[in-house]
Amino acid sequence: MKKAFVIGAGLAFSLLFSPFQQAFAAETTGELRKVDNVAHRGATGYAPENTIAAFDKGVEMKADYIEIDVQRSKDGELVIIHDNTVDRTTDGTGYVKDLTFEQIRSLDAGSWKGEEFTGEKIPTFDEVLDRYHGKTGILIELKSPELYPGIEGQVAQKLKERNLDKPQNEKIIIQSFNFESMKITNSLLPKVRIGVLTSNRAHTTEQALKEFATYADYFNPSYGIVSKELVDQVHSLGMKIQSWTVRSHEAAQFLLDMNVDGIITDYPDYVDPRK
């Protein structure tokens, strides 16, 4: 069980004091059951993804974490955007890696979602860390790190500058579809939790899961490949499992029934057990 020994106490503390998590007391067993509610790219169902509006909405909806996608501008600024180009979610065009921060910052990242969001900007990693740390957890995805050599070190530096690389900061998780990048990140930040992302069943074999467990704390699959057996196997290897992307009440209920540890959703209210 990688790193669990240094974070167990912190987790128990947050479990006791989070009202959302207390709502998950499993009546049948008498045990407290923790399911993290993760706002995917913010509360994307209600505001433009990966913007301050979406992250604020996630916090307002009492998500345990906001999920963010980190990439890098041509001149080295870490920025929060999902696609490798700005085309879909802004009024501009081009690859993130080919645009300067000034060019990226001048784009409108809100109006595509609705007139009321006109003027939303692409946030920086610095801004998100400073605005949300301590208010909510941050699930940091390194998006396409193969396009950004050395991005793992840059991210590690930003966390270290803020003392967010310490064991008590159990509400910071770094994840990626790029497993080599997560191995590097784990060696740079040995006390920060690491996740691997996949939608590929080939990554659910015993051999693959055992390999992930040598450096990862979370195995985070798309919900289409989740089963009770997979959840049990991941747990037996000492990892947790957060699954994505929930956009319906049925999918949320399915994952609750599967006993996952976290649900990554565009609609944080869909996984609130009080509804």
Q: Which residues bind Ca ion (CB under 5 A)?
A: 69, 141
* DSSP string of 74-99, one letter each residue: TTS-EEE-SSSBSTTTSS--SBGGGS
82 part of the active site: yes
203 part of the active site: no
Q: Angle at the Cα of 217 (from 214 to 223), degrees rounded to 5?
A: 115
Contacts of 8 by beta carbon, 8 Å cutoff, 6+ apart: none
Q: How far, in whole angstroms, is CA 197 from its chain's centroid?
A: 10
Under 8 Å between Cβ of 229 and 3: no
Looking at the Cβ atoms of 69 and 77, the one nearer to Ca ion is 69
128 binding ligand G3P? (CB under 6 A): no
Looking at the Cβ atoms of 40 and 193, the one nearer to ligand G3P is 40
Q: What are phi and psi of 90, to 5 degrees?
A: -140, 180
Name the active-site residue from 82, 133, 235, 249: 82
Contacted by 85, from Ca ion, ligand G3P, none: CB < 5 to 8 Å by type: none
Under 8 Å between Cβ of 107 and 86: yes
Contacted by 7, from Ca ion, ligand G3P, none: CB < 5 to 8 Å by type: none
Contacted by 3, from ligand G3P, Ca ion, none: CB < 5 to 8 Å by type: none
Question: Which residue is closest to ligand G3P by CB?
Answer: 244
69 binding ligand G3P? (CB under 6 A): yes
- Please report where in the chains the tokens 């692409």 appear, as a residue: 122
Residues 9-68 that bind ligand G3P (CB under 6 A): 40, 67
81 binding ligand G3P? (CB under 6 A): no
Alpha carbons within 13 angstroms on the beta-carbon side of residue 119 total: 1
Looking at the Cβ atoms of 139 and 233, the one nearer to Ca ion is 139
Alpha helices in the chain (DSSP H): 4-17, 19-22, 52-60, 101-105, 125-132, 151-161, 179-188, 206-212, 228-236, 249-258
Contacted by 34, from ligand G3P, Ca ion, none: CB < 5 to 8 Å by type: none
Looking at the Cβ atoms of 34 and 82, the one nearer to ligand G3P is 82
Tell me the per-residue interface mask from 136 to 155 with ligand G3P, x by CB under 6 A, - otherwise: -----x--------------
- Please report where in the chains the tokens 């802004």 appear, as a residue: 90
Among positions 61, 197, 216, 263, the unique one binding ligand G3P when judged by CB under 6 A: 197
Query: Which of the residues are catalytic?
Result: 40, 82
Rule CB under 6 A: which residues touch ligand G3P?
40, 67, 69, 82, 141, 197, 244-245, 264
